Structure 1
Amino acid sequence: MTMWTPMKKRANSEPAARTSTLRRGLLASGLWLGLGGPALARRYEGYDFPDKLQLGGASLQLNGVGKRAVAIIKGYLAALYLGKSASTPEQAYATPGPKRIQIYMLLDVGAEEFVKAVNKGVQRNCSEAEKAALSEAQPAFIAQLRAVNKVYKKDLIDMDYLPERGTLLSINGKPAGNAIPGPELYQALLKVFLGERPVDKRLKSGLLGGSPD
């Protein structure tokens, strides 16, 4: 269970600013319950995911939700937003326009665990040609993850694809760095979740509109 070793709790004196930042991030994604959230949403594991959201000037729809879990430990909930419905990985990869992978943390995790998951997922699911095309983009994304250091329970992580800009990582609504240009990185990230050897098979099923449990 290397991916979900709980981190030590933060001191009670941790600034309330983090909660404020989280609220802003959830508001931006339409997830903050009772604070202007959408009228239509899918409720999963006690959290509401909006049926639709706006990204990069496009309207995206919720394709599916699921959770990453090891035994009884739940690591995070995830949602996939696309411009049109996709029930297979190939359809998701081929969907044009902006895309979003949204992760809602259920426990504290060191960013290095995400680094390992991304590197392993790319290695397992991408062809040699695809990996070669990531020679600059993947290290840049890994550097952004490492700069985050840790993510905490109730943090909101968005991995967005904007065709005119590339892949943008945000934590609680705040960009973690500059967008990484090109489509190759985001295709690889999708394959981490949806590929032949995904990070979690039940999560893959949920993101593609099937049963997440």
Structure 2
Amino acid sequence: MQTTLHRLLRPALLAATLTVALPANTANAAEVAGVHFDDKTSLAGSELVLNGAALRTRFMLKIYAIGLYLPRTVNSPEAIAGSSGPKRIQITTLRDLGASEFADALVDGLKRNHSEAELARLQPRIDDFRNTIVALKSTPAGSQIRLEWLPGSGTRLSIGNEARGKDIPGEDFYHALLRIWLGEKPVDTDLKKALLGKG
């Protein structure tokens, strides 16, 4: 009886195991608060896959939906830092945000995840990044914001399909931005897990 039961359950157990293991190696499209994230996209001639997507909330308010696209799926910040090729953070705002408010929130995230010495090295580029966002005046609900790492060029900020400001040099700056969501003090620990495919 026990042998028969085990034989009948084994395919189901195997299927369950495969279902759990599959997302770790396969990109899946996602929908977050009504925002759709494609399973794949292209950037600088390379194919990127959706590593994870999440919702940013504050005081129970939905602020934005965010997706992370990488050359291949990974599950740790260290693996992202060690990977080469283009990368994309894709954000869709879910409420009207003042550009200064949004920029300051990002800068606060940078400050929480870097030492004073690290911030000093990044400061001129942080200032350029903040000034470019502030120049937008506002980021209405539904704005699509892309923060992309383009090897050989730098970090590019785009609103919709339009690049804003100049590309910011240095891959260290892009990794600094990633720490806002994936660092030791992320804006939200559940959001961090979701972007790393652990949500």
Fold match (TM-score > 0.5): yes
Return the offset for 1:118: 1.9
Structure 2: where are the runs of 5+ without partners?
1-27
Partner Cα separation in structure 2 for residue 68 and residue 44 of structure 1: 10
Q: Does 1:201 align with 2:192?
A: no
Q: Determine which of 95, 98, 118 is the counterpart of 2:83.
A: 95
For residues 70-125 of structure 1, the C-alpha deviation after alignment (integer angstroms, 9 at most, x for no partner) is 23210000000001112111112222110000001100000112222222111111
State the 4+ residue runs in structure 1 displaced beyond 2 angstroms: 40-47, 127-130
Supply the AA of the counterpart residue of 2:100: E
Q: Does 1:153 align with 2:147?
A: no
Partner Cα separation in structure 2 for residue 56 and residue 201 of structure 1: 30
Q: Does 1:67 align with 2:55?
A: yes
Provide the secondary structure at the position in 2 that maps to 1:119: helix
Cross-structure match for 1:3: none
Q: Does 1:57 align with 2:37?
A: no
When Rg is computed on C-alpha atoms for both structures, the one with the higher figure is 2
Between the two structures, name the one with larger relative contact order (CA 8 Å, sep ≥ 6).
1
Return the offset for 1:49: 0.8
Q: Does 1:120 align with 2:72?
A: no
Partner Cα separation in structure 2 for residue 68 and residue 200 of structure 1: 8
Identity of aligned residues (%): 41
Contact residue 77 and residue 105 of structure 1 kept, 8 A: yes
Question: What is the root-mean-square deviation of aligned Cα atoms in Å?
Answer: 1.4
Return the offset for 1:203: 1.4
Contact residue 75 and residue 107 of structure 1 kept, 8 A: yes
The within-5 A match list for 1:1-213 is 41-211=29-199
Provide the secondary structure at the position in 1 that maps to 2:169: coil
TM-score of the two chains, using structure 2 as the length reference: 0.82
Contact residue 35 and residue 92 of structure 2 kept, 8 A: no
Return the offset for 1:127: 3.1
Supply the AA of the counterpart residue of 1:98: P
Return the offset for 1:137: 1.1
TM-score of the two chains, using structure 1 as the length reference: 0.77
Structure 1: where are the runs of 5+ without partners?
1-39
Return the offset for 1:53: 0.6
Aligned length: 172
Partner Cα separation in structure 2 for residue 111 and residue 105 of structure 1: 11
